[in-house]
Structure 1
């Protein structure tokens, strides 16, 4: 497949995005690494191409479009605003992806759409746009909601430190499960005797004492009751057609009242999608869906995947990222809710390249 063919598909997608009112933008290819590391943490370094510029300092080849688009909007964008873009992103191979059948492209094309608006129907607007563009491909649509999970974690009867640890690892299922199991078990006794030897090490005595105090406080905490572990595990395991999942979540909200607002929002989104002619029973709701997407999503997440190609990444994916937009808008004293997504033109082409043109 040539770059020209992928670009042609990308231009068709851009046409649909522009017809939906989006202004086309072209973010830089080289981005300051500091901003991305502050937002994503050091984990992004393992997946991005990083280099050193004698003037600009550490920079990255663009691993993602969302951050530079948000920065561009916060500098001079009006409200509400819609943007679209087409260009390459660059990602290193994941560890272990050395077999030919699992290799992914280090460089691939993305066509994206971002909506900055306070409209409560923004989630449905973006999902419906992607659904319409991709309808001829008969993809499997999946939806999730990270706010639903985070609200449930915030409701746990734990210390602020333990809740923060779980929230930090919510996108890392194995680490999350280990932390939850540890918090549910009786703490092992720890001996922090005060030996006569001098304090040594790279950390200061005050830093080491702070760490000891934190470990002692953690060891004194009561274990998380099994009923809360069971509730959380049941919530994270919800996976069903959207209307059926909504009923299950309603029942869980009676046990975890803090998720009621997120469940109500899902109900409103499904109602808004049905009003747009979308069969919501054909949308699969997976409560843990967002745990396998970009870490800045903090609300609705979605993806469209080829059902007969489980080895592929999603053909399209996206979600809500209000907290990211708020952080990047701090310098300008601005904050606005945001939701968006991307489509991979290369995968669209592999599936036949038939999408809706000039419609939104």
Structure 2
């Protein structure tokens, strides 16, 4: 498959996005690393290509379109606004100790659509756009909701520090499970040498604050087993969307704080049904968003190719209100946002799109 073939598919997708009211934008290929590091932390270095510019400082090859599109919108965009784009992103692929049989590309083409609007129907609009466009490929549609999980974690009877730690690692299931297990048992107090022997890059004040947090944490009561059980059952909900909604209604009786998120899911499914989508064919996985981009904080979705377990999703997306709020702080702006991307290369391998059949 040549780059020209991928570009041709990408242009078809871009045309469909423009027909949906989106304005085409072209974010820079080289982005300031500072913003991305502030948002994602140092973990982004393991996935992005970083270079040093003598004038601009540390820069990254574009690992993602969403951040620069949000920044551009916050500087001069009107409300509501729809944007689309087509271009390469660059990411290092962590394959562990042994290379995979089918390594993922380090450079690949993305076609994307982003919607900035306060309309409660925005989730359904974006999902339905992708669903209709990709319908000829007969992909499996899946969705989740990170707000559902985060509301459940915020409801835990824990200190603010412990809840913050769990929320920080919610996208890292193994770390999250270890933390939850630790918070569910009594830990012996930790002794620290006095006076402290300061070493490393942290300042004495930072080290002292860290010690104080560890000492305070050791005196916290363990989390009652019932809460870990409730979280486990919530995270394990995986079923056709209408059945998942029923299961979540039952869990909301035990975790009332998730009721608002469950209500939103019900409204989204109703909105999709009104657009002619068979929601029984959508698979809802409560943990779906834990395996997507870390800035998603509401609905998430993906479209995957059956029988292609070694492939990444053909399309992914979701809601990222908190990211938009953070990036809009400098301009004093905040607006809800939802969007997604399609991989034209994978679409081409599946035979391309017949846009005349797309809803």
Structure 1 residue 102 displacement after superposition: 2.6
* Residue of 165, 189, 201 corresponding to 2:199: 201
Instruction: Report the equivalent of 2:280.
Output: 281
**When the two structures are aligned, how many residues end up with a matched partner?**
358
Structure 1 residue 74 displacement after superposition: 0.5
- Would the alpha carbon gap of residues 200 and 334 (structure 1) be closer, same or farther in structure 2, given more than 3 Å must change? closer
Instruction: Report the equivalent of 2:229.
Output: 230
Structure 1 residue 99 displacement after superposition: 3.4
- Would the alpha carbon gap of residues 29 and 206 (structure 1) be closer, same or farther in structure 2, given more than 3 Å must change? closer
Asked if structure 2 preserves the Cα contact closer than 8 Å seen for 1:88 and 1:108, the reply is yes
SS at match of 1:104: coil
Q: Give the whole-Å Cα distance in 2 for the aligned partners of 1:21 and 1:141.
A: 23
Q: For residues 28-54 of structure 1, what are the alpha-carbon distances to aligned partners after superposition, in whole Å with 9 as ceiling and x for unaligned?
A: 000000001111111111111100011
Q: Give the whole-Å Cα distance in 2 for the aligned partners of 1:353 and 1:331.
A: 42
Deviates more, 1:213-222 or 1:27-36: 213-222
Structure 1 position 248 matched with structure 2 position 251: no
Instruction: Report the equivalent of 1:126.
Output: 126
Asked if structure 2 preserves the Cα contact closer than 8 Å seen for 1:74 and 1:329, the reply is yes
Matches within 5 A, 1:210-221: 210-221=209-220
Structure 1 residue 17 displacement after superposition: 0.4
Q: For residues 337-357 of structure 1, what are the alpha-carbon distances to aligned partners after superposition, in whole Å with 9 as ceiling and x for unaligned?
A: 000000000000000012425
Q: For residues 42-94 of structure 1, what are the alpha-carbon distances to aligned partners after superposition, in whole Å with 9 as ceiling and x for unaligned?
A: 11111111000111110011000000000110011000000000000011121
Q: CA RMSD in A?
A: 1.4
Structure 1 residue 359 displacement after superposition: 6.0
Q: Give the whole-Å Cα distance in 2 for the aligned partners of 1:322 and 1:189.
A: 39
SS at match of 1:349: helix
- Would the alpha carbon gap of residues 86 and 200 (structure 1) be closer, same or farther in structure 2, given more than 3 Å must change? closer
- Would the alpha carbon gap of residues 63 and 200 (structure 1) be closer, same or farther in structure 2, given more than 3 Å must change? closer
Instruction: Report the equivalent of 2:24.
Output: 24
Asked if structure 2 preserves the Cα contact closer than 8 Å seen for 1:117 and 1:338, the reply is yes
Q: Give the whole-Å Cα distance in 2 for the aligned partners of 1:165 and 1:250.
A: 27
Q: Give the whole-Å Cα distance in 1 for the aligned partners of 2:196 and 2:291.
A: 46
Structure 1 residue 330 displacement after superposition: 0.6
Instruction: Report the equivalent of 1:343.
Output: 342
Structure 1 residue 358 displacement after superposition: 9.5
User: Which consecutive unaligned segments of at least 5 residues does structure 2 have?
Assistant: none
Q: Give the whole-Å Cα distance in 2 for the aligned partners of 1:329 and 1:217.
A: 35
- Would the alpha carbon gap of residues 357 and 17 (structure 1) be closer, same or farther in structure 2, given more than 3 Å must change? farther
Q: Give the whole-Å Cα distance in 2 for the aligned partners of 1:302 and 1:317.
A: 6
Deviates more, 1:148-157 or 1:35-44: 35-44
Q: Give the whole-Å Cα distance in 2 for the aligned partners of 1:233 and 1:358.
A: 41
User: Which consecutive unaligned segments of at least 5 residues does structure 1 have?
Assistant: none
Instruction: Report the equivalent of 2:312.
Output: 313
Structure 1 position 258 matched with structure 2 position 257: yes
Matches within 5 A, 1:1-360: 1-96=1-96, 99=99, 101-192=101-192, 194=194, 199-202=197-200, 203-356=202-355
Q: For residues 130-183 of structure 1, what are the alpha-carbon distances to aligned partners after superposition, in whole Å with 9 as ceiling and x for unaligned?
A: 000000000000000000000000000000000000000000000000000000
- Would the alpha carbon gap of residues 36 and 181 (structure 1) be closer, same or farther in structure 2, given more than 3 Å must change? same
Structure 1 residue 192 displacement after superposition: 3.8
- Would the alpha carbon gap of residues 61 and 357 (structure 1) be closer, same or farther in structure 2, given more than 3 Å must change? farther
SS at match of 1:101: coil
Structure 1 residue 211 displacement after superposition: 2.3
Q: Give the whole-Å Cα distance in 1 for the aligned partners of 2:339 and 2:61.
A: 21
Asked if structure 1 preserves the Cα contact closer than 8 Å seen for 2:134 and 2:358, the reply is no
Q: Give the whole-Å Cα distance in 1 for the aligned partners of 2:266 and 2:196.
A: 61
Give the structure-2-normalised TM-score. 0.97
Q: For residues 3-45 of structure 1, what are the alpha-carbon distances to aligned partners after superposition, in whole Å with 9 as ceiling and x for unaligned?
A: 1110000011011101100000000000000001111111111
SS at match of 1:185: coil
Q: Give the whole-Å Cα distance in 2 for the aligned partners of 1:136 and 1:286.
A: 23
Structure 1 residue 217 displacement after superposition: 1.0
Q: Give the whole-Å Cα distance in 2 for the aligned partners of 1:191 and 1:4.
A: 63
Structure 1 residue 188 displacement after superposition: 2.0
